[in-house]
Structure 1
Amino acid sequence: MNLRSKRRPQDTITVFWSDWHARRADSGVPVNDIAHAAQSNRTSIYDLGKRGKLFPDPEFVTKLCTALGMNDAEQREWLTRYRALSAVSTNQPERRNWTTWHLGAVGAVAVVLGAAATVLVLAVTESRDHTTAPAAAAAAAVIEVQNKTVAGENELAEDVTPAYLSSRTVRRCAAPENACKLAGTEMSSGALVVAVCRATGDELVNYNRDSPYPDNPHRAVSNGWYRVVWPDKREGYLSEVYVHPAHRGGRGLRDC
């Protein structure tokens, strides 16, 4: 007997608002207070998620997170996931200023809650014998920047030069002879960015090749790069050497 495999739900606006409403119920914050904080109304708050064609702006999502008492780290996670889905959306309507139109026409941002903070848009289909087909590559993933270099026998230290995105997968893009750095994309450790695919390029390391400490466990060497979508929609590459170790290895993304 063929049993229908349990399907992993696709990341949708319905999932996001379902999670948000569950969080609202658990918080105990009155709907009237949330509506006031978001400069909205009670009915519109209850209607969140019922219509999913327009994306709200980040300011509104921030107000909702704040109204539920989320701390800065939680707000950053929710907003990063929102921007991730927004960045890879292939059918995104024009944005509107959230304070100038009725919430009844609300759009939504989709989120997948996961310990690794990875945003997955899964394409899962079923064959005729009711078995589940393999999941497609992730459409996007949130990765954390680790702009650190090896120091001493067992330490990492923040690099004095910020990490940045480049238009090519080559080293030293800030150098005049290469001129492939994307201006205004400087990042320090802890920054969260959205990767949409993986590539190979120049091999980078996070240590001095003549270092007297060859056994430092934090040493990293790789020719892997992520293609990242910046909030202003520009795209550029970031070496995975400057990504948190837990987020190296491609993150299940497609090849660029």
Structure 2
Amino acid sequence: MTTTSRGDDASEESLDRFCREFDAVFKARGMSLRRAAELSGWGKTTIDSARKGHGLPNRDLVRDVLQAMDLGAQEVDAWVERRDRIASKESAAAGEPEPTSSKRHWLIGAIVAVGVVAGVVIGLLVAQNSDVPEGVDGRAANPPVGSRDIVVQNKVAIGPTALDEDDSPSYLSSRTVSRCANTGCKLGGTDVYSGAKLTAYCQTEGEWLTNADLESDGIKQNPGLVASDIWYGIEWRDGRRGYISEVYIEESYRGGLALPQC
């Protein structure tokens, strides 16, 4: 039985329709959210958000979850292609390139695309950031009422066990999307590495991100892997406000912390 119901007119494709039909696959297969999480390696909250249409689902999530439900390879590929068409349409409408799911995953793609030149550029970036101290205190001078102190974990999950410091820093952005350093929404002077302290005053939903090197062997077994669409609203020490994904925050500070919606 085919569960993918594209219809004949690809121009009618939309995020809302995609997520409704994605949710219909669960019902048709009798797959519980808990079981889908166990089989795919993705968190229940992230999968549930994809079903409810809170945002465009991560490409790898779509593939992994549908494979976990035993859809055939061609049908899974068709779903991924649908997802990519929507992403391209949204990116074109916004005038931006499609964001990726992880800083490290973007670097790997860049290396493949431009070879030695990218390697040189990345090396320069690492050297440029080498003077940024770990454990920076970026907390607000006058914390908003009800805010919480949180701690940065700027690490990448690699393979089945590794959780290593990322070569590039995390930072605050004016939008809840990745790659703001390349698209103009990064807040300058907010680079942070693991151990940095921040003041979170609210939470919101944004782009799905992961801290994983998705192309490393055995990544699904890595206990340090996290994927989420939760972003924290942060007040920087000079009063500016921006966002950071919870995938770059220590585990004990994830989950929203019962903070109000931004």
Q: Shorter-chain-normalised TM-score: which range?
A: 0.3 to 0.5
Normalized per residue, the structure richer in helix is 2
TM value normalised by structure 2 = 0.46
Provide TM-score, normalisation by structure 1.
0.47
